[in-house]
């Protein structure tokens, strides 16, 4: 987030949350992944829905959330559903994060672009996860870790792919309802 936007929030000039909420049209972006491949939102929405998760590698809630996003990806990703992580760190820290937390879906770097995508989405916290449908509309907008939001993403993708909904959380796991980012 830009310094001026932060200052205006701190002095009370902005009284609303600035991240994109469900029902809004997702701002476009074009970013490079760790493998140097370019990803553009406008091209991806033509293929199907997109799950986009913004993060910082040092964020404990991001570290907690991404293994669950990886589960979603393993079950619902691929064929006509795209998963993307958007890192606010450099390539080295981002690669280490992906390896440590087992992330196999593409991770894009926003750091080298002065956080252009993060600023366009008005992020105030990470992780922030969006489910964007083929019309560009945000179906789910989730700040921090939110169990119900991740389950809503799973349900939407299962319905979209016409496959049975699988439990995202195992019965032997103790998973909080939410963790603020």
**CATH code for position 126:** 3.40.30.10
| 3-class DSSP state of 42 | helix
Structural domain contains residue 54: yes
Give the per-residue pLDDT at 51: 98
Beta strands at 82-87 and 107-109: parallel, antiparallel or unpaired: parallel
Residue 60: partners with Cβ closer than 8 Å, 6 or more residues away: none
pLDDT-derived band of residue 8, with 50, 70 and 90 as boundaries? very low
Residue 68: is its pLDDT beyond 90? Answer: yes
In whole angstroms, what is the distance from residue 78 CA to residue 83 CA? 8
The residue assigned the tokens 């553009």 is 40
The answer to the question of residue 134 being in a domain is: yes
Q: Are 88 and 55 in contact (CB under 8 A)?
A: yes
149: Cα within 13 Å, side-chain hemisphere: 24
The better pLDDT of the pair 181, 27 is held by 27
64 found inside a domain:
yes
Provide the 10 A C-beta neighbour count for residue 79: 8
Residues contacting residue 41 through CB under 8 Å, at least 6 positions apart? 26, 27, 28, 29, 30, 50, 132, 136
- Asked if residue 71 is part of any domain, the answer here is yes
- Give, to the nearest 10 degrees, the angle between helix 60-76 and helix 91-100: 70
The pLDDT tens digits of the residues spanning 74-108 come to 999 987 899 999 999 999 999 999 999 999 999 99
Which single residue is written with the structure tokens 């083929």?
134
C-alpha span between 167 and 30 (Å, rounded) = 33
Residue 122 resides in a domain: yes
In the predicted structure, residue 17 carries a pLDDT above the cut 60: no
Strand partners for 114: none
pLDDT of 9 strictly over 70: no
Give the count of domains, the chain: 1
pLDDT digits (tens, 9 = 90+) for 99-149: 999 999 999 999 766 899 999 999 989 999 999 999 999 999 999 999 999
Could you tell me the residue range of the domain that residue 70 belongs to?
48-145
Q: Mean pLDDT across the stretch 153-166?
A: 94
Radius of gyration of the chain (CA): 16
Residue 166 in any domain: the answer is no
**Residue % of the chain over a pLDDT of 90:** 82
Assess if residue 55 is contained within a domain: yes
Burial 33-45 (b: 16+ CB within 10 A, else e): bbeeeebebeebb
């Amino acid at each position: 987030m830009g310094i001026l936007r932060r200052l205006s929030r701190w002095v009370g000039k902005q009284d609303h949350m600035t991240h994109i909420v469900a029902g809004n049209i997702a701002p476009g972006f074009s970013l490079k992944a760790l493998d140097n491949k370019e990803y553009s939102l406008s091209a991806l929405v033509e293929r199907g829905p997109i799950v986009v998760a913004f993060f910082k590698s040092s964020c404990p809630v991001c570290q907690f959330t991404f293994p669950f996003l990886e589960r979603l990806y393993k079950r619902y990703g691929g064929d006509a559903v795209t998963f993307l992580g958007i890192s606010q760190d450099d390539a080295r820290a981002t690669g280490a994060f992906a390896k440590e937390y087992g992330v196999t879906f593409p991770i894009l770097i926003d750091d080298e672009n002065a956080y252009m995508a993060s600023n366009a989405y008005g992020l105030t916290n990470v992780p922030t996860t969006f489910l964007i449908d083929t019309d560009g509309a945000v179906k789910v907008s989730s700040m921090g870790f939110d169990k119900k939001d991740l389950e809503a993403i799973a349900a939407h993708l299962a319905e979209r792919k016409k496959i049975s909904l699988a439990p995202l959380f195992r019965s032997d796991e103790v998973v909080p309802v939410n963790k603020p980012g």
